[in-house]
Structure 1
């Protein structure tokens, strides 16, 4: 009887050890791969809410094996600092305005060309297709793995001096632009005095009168309360500036294939969430901004003079960006 009891006890003990080992092993995989990322915008922005959506989706899909640490309000530095962090391996993911990545790839400057896109349908088709992927792949030599694009939106013009309805209204305005060459050339052609500046400095520069205006998507203008220091806004839509979703190759190469696929799926799910929310709310955002600003809505024919004046930018930068890539993008959009 004692012998039988001992056998049963030993069996129970063995099973307990197996289950305990299994639980320990399972627990040790939680948070095994951590994706740290940060943005310049605040935690009320759609960009941050998109990151929260991706975090929930990814952590659920991987049962917590892959987790995300999110930072906002430039806690990790500006976009350029985070891109440099990808190379160093101190940051795993970038999801900011792709423009600053032109320091490593001239192909990125394709999206700076003025009036390349005229609709969201064109945006989605090109970004999610082979041309968009070619731009992302151009970052591989710099140790960056580009996965996709999120919505940043068409950039609109604001200033504190006067309503802008014609190109002549831009002449003489001191405008903050992204610190990349194409926007500088574009606004010089329009007669402005463009000033390159990192995003985190923009509000203070506007407030102190260092610059008269800036250009950013509607959602960014609202989320960052630029209306507090800007009186006028115009729907120039001169550039569609996407958020690039890019990973550190050092991190990516350590990630097993199954989790690489989970990350891709989470990026694309967040992209769809992001675009839908941004486009649904665009008119609501304009209506909200109109409470504080004088909004000028230009008809398509009123935008044509701006397009014509800035077209020489294509010739100026085609060689630098890559003539074949520029022509490929133009042909693709014309044939949609």
Structure 2
């Protein structure tokens, strides 16, 4: 890996980040485990699409748009049943369901996918993407497709990238303006080793935990804080059990629209094209909603009593320096050439 180039890129990327970043529907009751495979040709095929977030989140509203597009364009030959709030399980459970053919669609962040495809850990390098616009260019381009092409080997098909957004830190102990303020805080993270090691390097005490367990853990004091985009923080009502929010923007987190390969392969070529295009179109709609929501929900969090703390450029650069050894370690695991190609793609997207 060209270490000098990697280190050189992080500093201007951080500076750019500072300047560039700032529903409803009918839900079916959750089916029993071990559903049937796709129906034979000529019968209505059912897509059970589940997510962990609630029915007010832009992700679920995007899923409803996907449902509308698919059912309309297939003239009812494919029915999309939508499940929110972890009704079908957490991200890992639902992804395993896709592999087994007992579920058809889920839309996890990239972090849980790294448990199945280690190369996806690259998306969770802190401070990788400097802005949403750069992320769009890279994810919708050749580099993003390269990662989607890794999924079929796991009996998964990646149809599109949606958006979770920049992750920010909350806690109920003290304002966090620097890495020093993180020391000793028990922070819930996703079940992802890179996240755990990065937060340890920042001095925190990270605790992996399923998303569906998080509110109760915050309420009971099992953990002091968590990290998620503003929309998730607000819609999951973490402001009821957290006092402080900081714009760490430490990771830009995409969602990946996953479909069971077993189910996808059972569709006609025309139906495959319909679900592919619908996933992309619904994803573009979801990104727009998500960005509007994140801006609004930060204001709402403050109105409802959370203390907002701005992270300075100097403090963010200190965080970069602290986690640099972790990134070097994972670059070797993932493949230094692949990591460098990602940074090259990000650099090119800024020009």
TM-score, normalised with respect to structure 2: 0.85
Match of 2:319 in 1: 306
Match of 2:67 in 1: 55
8 Å CA contact 2:159–2:279 kept in 1: the answer is yes
Distance 1:152 1:282 in 2: 10
Distance 1:323 1:285 in 2: 38
Match of 2:227 in 1: 215
Give 3-state SS (helix, strand or coil) of 1:214's partner: strand
Deviation at 1:297, TM superposition (A): 2.5
Higher helix share: 1
Q: Deviation digits for residues 297-333 of structure 1, max 9, x if unmatched?
A: 2344442222222222220101222222111101111
Match of 2:309 in 1: 296
Distance 2:260 2:41 in 1: 21
Give 3-state SS (helix, strand or coil) of 1:242's partner: strand
Q: Which of 24, 27, 35 is residue 47 of structure 2 equivalent to? A: 35
2:109 pairs with 1:97: yes
Give 3-state SS (helix, strand or coil) of 1:152's partner: strand
Match of 2:82 in 1: 70
2:162 pairs with 1:150: yes
Match of 1:191 in 2: 203
Distance 1:40 1:280 in 2: 21
Distance 1:141 1:276 in 2: 31
Q: Structure 2: where are the runs of 5+ without partners? A: 1-39
Give 3-state SS (helix, strand or coil) of 1:47's partner: helix
CA spacing shift, 1:30–1:68, aligned 2, 3 Å: farther
Match of 2:20 in 1: none
Give 3-state SS (helix, strand or coil) of 2:227's partner: strand
Give 3-state SS (helix, strand or coil) of 1:103's partner: coil
8 Å CA contact 2:179–2:315 kept in 1: the answer is no
Aligned-residue Cα RMSD (Å) equals 1.5
8 Å CA contact 1:30–1:66 kept in 2: the answer is no
Match of 1:15 in 2: none
2:131 pairs with 1:119: yes
Give 3-state SS (helix, strand or coil) of 2:114's partner: helix
8 Å CA contact 1:186–1:310 kept in 2: the answer is yes
Deviation at 1:133, TM superposition (A): 1.5
For 1:168-317, what aligned pairs fall within 5 Å after superposition? Answer: 168-291=180-303, 292-317=305-330
Give 3-state SS (helix, strand or coil) of 2:222's partner: coil
Distance 1:109 1:94 in 2: 19
Select between 210-219 and 297-306 the one with higher mean Cα deviation. Answer: 297-306
Radius of gyration: which is bigger?
A: 1
8 Å CA contact 2:177–2:312 kept in 1: the answer is no
Q: Deviation digits for residues 30-86 of structure 1, max 9, x if unmatched?
A: 872211111111111111111111111111111111120101111101111110001
Q: Deviation digits for residues 236-266 of structure 1, max 9, x if unmatched?
A: 1101111111111100110011111110111
Deviation at 1:114, TM superposition (A): 0.6
8 Å CA contact 1:113–1:313 kept in 2: the answer is no
Distance 1:173 1:190 in 2: 10
Match of 2:340 in 1: 327
8 Å CA contact 1:30–1:64 kept in 2: the answer is no
Distance 1:269 1:56 in 2: 11
Q: Which of 144, 150, 160 is residue 138 of structure 1 equivalent to? A: 150
CA spacing shift, 1:234–1:31, aligned 2, 3 Å: farther
Distance 1:147 1:325 in 2: 21
CA spacing shift, 1:249–1:294, aligned 2, 3 Å: same
Q: Deviation digits for residues 123-174 of structure 1, max 9, x if unmatched?
A: 1011111211222221211111111111100100000001011110011101
Residues paired across the two proteins, number: 309
TM-score, normalised with respect to structure 1: 0.89
